[in-house]
Amino acid sequence: MVEIGCVEMINKVPTGNTYHAYYNPERDMPAGAEAVHGLSAAFLSDKPLFAAKAQELLDFLEDAPLVAHNASFDFGFLNTELTIISMEPICTSRMIDTVALARRKHPGAKLSLDALCSRYGIDRSHRVKHGALLDAELLAQVYVELTGGRQIGLELAADIAEQVTAVPIPSAAATPRNRQPARPHSASAEELSRHHEFLGLIKSPLWGQ
């Protein structure tokens, strides 16, 4: 494992709080892997070991649900690293896999992060390589779309409507009230006379042609 990026969200809204770290894997970087993420062995050589930063990561994660794309793959790496340094692995019940969400919502469609960004109109033009923090920021937007879209308030409105309809409304017969007489809306004889005089002041009215 060479990089981790996390974006904090509360009620599906990014808080601006993020976590990002590079790690020295203590091994050579395969050419195929470097082609994907662009991180060379030389770049990572002066980065800290995962063991030195693991607690910092766990402090950031706390006990929150963890959203990841193909979550079992990512958590396999993370829990292996935690096990190596004799730390408790993260319970897989905390995982929310956006691949599984996308498969249920769009069966038969492409499920890559790039494909989902295209589907939902999420700008990924600045994504040249697989950067952990950038991918997390894009995935946060994809997750919102997969779970109801940007109009999150509609769910709240439905809850409010449900609560309102649950309140019993008394019938009119049960609560009689004094009704006021209808107010007169017709013009009086005096008002009609003044209106007729006013119309007489208008020269060549359209209604007279």
| Partner residues linked to 5 by β-bridges | 20
Q: Cβ(22)–Cβ(3) under 8 Å?
A: yes
CA gap 191, 118 in Å, rounded: 67
> Nearest-CA neighbor of 44 among 1, 78, 105, 15?
1
164-172: Cβ within 8 A, 24+ apart:
none
Nearest-5° Cα angle at 145, 116 to 57: 85
Is there a catalytic annotation at residue 130?
A: yes
Catalytic residue of the set 20, 37, 106, 130: 130
**Which DSSP category does 37 fall into?**
H
Contact 1, 11 (CB under 8 A): no
Task: Report, as residue numbers or ranges, the catalytic residues.
Answer: 130
